[in-house]
Structure 1
Amino acid sequence: MTRRIWVITMFPDFFKPLKEVGVVGQVFQGMRGEKFELNTVFLSDYSKKGFKGVDESPYGGGPGMVMRADVLKNALVEGVIKPGNYDEDNFKEEFSVIFTAPRGVVWNSSSCKKFANTYLQKDSKKDLVFICGRYEGVDERFLSRYVDEVYCIGDFVLSGGEIAVMAIIDSSFRFSEGVLGNDQSALCDSFEYNLLEHPQYTRPSEFEGMKVPPVLISGNHKKIEIWKEEMQVEMTTKWRADLLDKEK
């Protein structure tokens, strides 16, 4: 059975490359892993005034505009629930609604794996609906009523939620069974065990006077593994010492 991911957004064109290019694009084309389809829902289609009707000035004053709860609900019902043939009374049993915001759970290797294990494996039951915020924010009433999980991809501000949602989809699919050619690839990536990945080398064996470390061409697999582990610690100490503090 094909699993479905829906994205409610002001800019659906953001997601065209995600569906067509790279490893994740192959997932949505049915070439890797479980069968998933990605559907974008253009928020403006569910506003009576089109593009200009999706937001309003905030109550209480302040800069920027706030995305309207009623328009977002209309997009959820008319753009997801009905065309997806979900149960209007029990849709919470059929999909989870995800939002990105500074208040959310920090998106890191741990939360990414947990998310993938919950939603992107063979025995996962629920589809996913992502809400892409824009402008000053989203009416809190919609968030409190309809959103199930909130994630934050970092302590910085983007112009909208599209890039954050794509980052979540791309990174979590790496932990979905059958997506990577070698399932061990994700387990050897940076941030596993709070360490960066060791340096990588390939042909030619010498480049601008720099040679590949001799141990890597020695054929001694035990020494190679020891070198990799030592280099992980060295790279982490040099570039991301804060990760080592998490082990304490």
Structure 2
Amino acid sequence: MKIDVLSLFPDMFSGVFGQSILKKAQEKSAVQFQVLDFREFSSNKHRNVDDYPYGGGAGMVLTPQPLFDAVETLTKETSEKPRIILLCPQGERFSQKKAEELSKEKHLIFLCGHYEGYDERIREYLVTDEISIGDYVLTGGELGAMVVIDAVTRLLPGVLGKEESHLQDSFSTGLLEHPQYTRPADFRGMKVPDVLMSGNHKNIEEWRKKESLKRTYERRPDLLESIELTKEEENWLREIKDNKTT
């Protein structure tokens, strides 16, 4: 996958892209990152990328020319159409499902804005996706882009040590992940559940599914509204609810 980022502060990405999974993903040639300062594409002699909004109002608005020219430069030598992603509070709420969708693309371009917003023509005629990482406002789109890029990159083939590593992650199955334990089996009187040390893989798998369902019901019951449970899971959920009320 190729990921291009257009930002006024490209240095913000150097530490993130040079560490942990994102660094390993590049070393494995699973992804190629490029961060460009879109101020360099401004046709204004002062390299301005913003202007006052028509109709008045506080703050400055990003002008369309630098971003349009930057995207056209990044795509002029390819026939494939990339996903062009705008980070903004008005966008679709980012989710694991969206990360999985984007991980199937070959080329992503992220637009990171600042100031009071974007000229509407950028939204209407340039971008393919608008994404928000939450119901709050950040100084710019850089941190949001980092979050989305991290979530997408770890899903690329060969990036994680085991392909099944991300399949058990919270939200990948629609449920929160089950509890995890490691050695020692007894730490200050706090013990690992016996079933995990039993060696009975069938029982372990059942325990994990039940705990995943229980944790989702207790912490994010809203998630259960959008998933289709099996008959067995429906019975487990009834048991969980009954135990909570007794």
Offset at residue 96 of structure 1 (A): 3.0
Which residues in structure 2 correspond to 1:48-67 (within 5 Å)? 48-50=45-47, 53-67=48-62
Tell me if structure 1 keeps the 8 A contact 2:30–2:158.
no
The higher radius of gyration belongs to 2
Q: What's 2:155 paired with?
A: 175
Structure 1, unpaired ranges of 5+: 120-125
Q: What's 1:114 paired with?
A: 101
Which residues in structure 2 correspond to 1:79-90 (within 5 Å)? 80-81=74-75, 86-87=76-77
Report the Cα distance in structure 1 between the residues aligned to 2:2 and 2:99, rounded to whole angstroms.
19
The reply on whether 1:74 has 2:54 as its aligned counterpart is no
Match of 1:213 among 172, 185, 193: 193
Q: What's 2:144 paired with?
A: 164
**Percent identity of equivalent pairs:** 39
Q: What's 1:123 paired with?
A: none
Aligned residues: 226
Offset at residue 24 of structure 1 (A): 1.4
RMSD over aligned CA atoms reads: 1.9
3-state SS of paired residue (1:143): helix
Report the Cα distance in structure 2 between the residues aligned to 1:191 and 1:76, rounded to whole angstroms.
32
Query: 1:61 corresponds to which letter in structure 2?
Result: G
Structure 2, unpaired ranges of 5+: 229-246
Give deviations 1:112-163, integer Å, cap 9, x for gaps: 111112x1xxxxxx42221101111111112322212222222222211111
Tell me if structure 1 keeps the 8 A contact 2:30–2:159.
no
Offset at residue 68 of structure 1 (A): 1.1
Give every structure 1 segment of 4 or more consecutive aligned residues whose post-TM-superposition deviation is greater than 6 Å: none
Offset at residue 231 of structure 1 (A): 0.6
Query: 1:45 corresponds to which letter in structure 2?
Result: E
Query: 2:154 corresponds to which letter in structure 1?
Result: R
Tell me if structure 1 keeps the 8 A contact 2:41–2:66.
yes
TM-score relative to the length of structure 2:
0.84
Report the Cα distance in structure 1 between the residues aligned to 2:112 and 2:13, rounded to whole angstroms.
12
3-state SS of paired residue (1:170): helix
- Cα distance 1:183–1:35, how it changes in 2: closer, same or farther (>3 A)? closer
Q: What's 2:13 paired with?
A: 15
Q: What's 1:4 paired with?
A: 2
The reply on whether 1:229 has 2:209 as its aligned counterpart is yes
Offset at residue 212 of structure 1 (A): 0.8
147-156 or 224-233, which deviates more: 147-156
3-state SS of paired residue (1:192): coil
3-state SS of paired residue (1:5): strand
TM-score relative to the length of structure 1:
0.83
3-state SS of paired residue (1:93): coil
Report the Cα distance in structure 2 between the residues aligned to 1:168 and 1:148, rounded to whole angstroms.
15
Tell me if structure 2 keeps the 8 A contact 1:19–1:26.
no
Tell me if structure 1 keeps the 8 A contact 2:94–2:133.
yes
Give deviations 1:180-238, integer Å, cap 9, x for gaps: 11111111000133210011111121222201111111111111111111111111112
Report the Cα distance in structure 2 between the residues aligned to 1:148 and 1:66, rounded to whole angstroms.
20
Query: 1:174 corresponds to which letter in structure 2?
Result: R
Offset at residue 94 of structure 1 (A): 4.3
The reply on whether 1:242 has 2:222 as its aligned counterpart is yes
